[in-house]
């Protein structure tokens, strides 16, 4: 019996199947799971930068900073990243799916997507601090809109309209396909 877990066993517990080059992000987009995903991406890329890596995303979303960190990792490694949205792809998660390799961005038929305006907990702060924070959050929202325009079929104005409506904007895999977030609705029974 092993006294310490093998590195591959540890990765698999955290949603990384190194032998098949698959990563499963089914947690919130925050430091712990995103740190594991980024490390796994760079590890797999260093072993073979020509073979695709599959990133399965089923997340309610989370922290914008961690979303941008994973986005940058996906854009800077050499391995093509095939993204698959499964179940839920919300808040920070749609950008992580749509930034995958063109032609290899998928969603399962019953996946639900959601986008909304960025938000944060202001807490007890002075007015000048709130003003600085608001300027920063506005810049992050602007960056998100620009990246969504870059990776989809819709312009910044479209994404602003979707996100600035009151509440969350939900849509299904077929709308995600129409809007260019994904390239195909994946239905294995049909051989796709």
Query: Could you tell me the pTM of the whole model?
Result: 0.87
Contacts by residues 162-167 (CB-CB < 8 Å, ≥ 24 positions apart): 162/115, 163/115, 163/116, 163/117, 163/118, 164/117, 167/116
23 within a domain of the structure (yes/no): yes
53 within a domain of the structure (yes/no): yes
Q: Percent of the chain scored above 70 by pLDDT?
A: 85
Q: Based on the structure, what is the number of domains in the chain?
A: 1
171 within a domain of the structure (yes/no): yes
Residue 139 structural domain: 7-190
Neighbour tally for 17: CB within 10 Å: 15
52 within a domain of the structure (yes/no): yes
CATH number for the domain that contains residue 52:
3.90.226.10
51 within a domain of the structure (yes/no): yes
184 within a domain of the structure (yes/no): yes
Give the residue-averaged pLDDT of 15-21. 90
2 within a domain of the structure (yes/no): no
pLDDT at residue 14 above 80?
A: no
> Residues 81-129: pLDDT tens digits?
999 999 999 999 999 999 999 999 999 999 999 999 876 656 656 777 7
1 within a domain of the structure (yes/no): no
């Amino acid at each position: 019996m092993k006294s310490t877990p093998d590195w591959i066993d540890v990765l698999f517990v955290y949603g990384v199947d190194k032998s098949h080059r698959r990563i499963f992000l089914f947690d919130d987009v925050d430091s712990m799971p995103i740190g594991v995903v980024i490390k796994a991406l760079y590890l797999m890329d260093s072993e073979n930068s020509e073979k695709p890596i599959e990133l399965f995303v089923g997340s309610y979303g989370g922290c914008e900073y961690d979303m941008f960190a994973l986005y940058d990792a996906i854009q800077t490694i050499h391995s093509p990243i095939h993204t698959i949205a499964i179940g839920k792809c919300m808040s920070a998660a749609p950008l992580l799916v749509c930034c995958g390799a063109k032609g290899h961005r998928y969603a399962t038929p019953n996946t639900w997507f959601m986008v909304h305006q960025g938000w944060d907990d202001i807490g007890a702060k002075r007015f000048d601090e709130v003003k600085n924070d608001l300027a920063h959050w506005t810049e992050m929202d602007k960056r998100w809109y620009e990246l969504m325009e870059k990776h989809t079929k819709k312009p910044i104005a479209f994404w602003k309209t979707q996100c600035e409506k009151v509440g969350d904007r939900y849509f299904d895999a077929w709308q995600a396909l129409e809007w260019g977030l994904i390239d195909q609705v994946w239905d294995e029974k049909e051989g796709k």
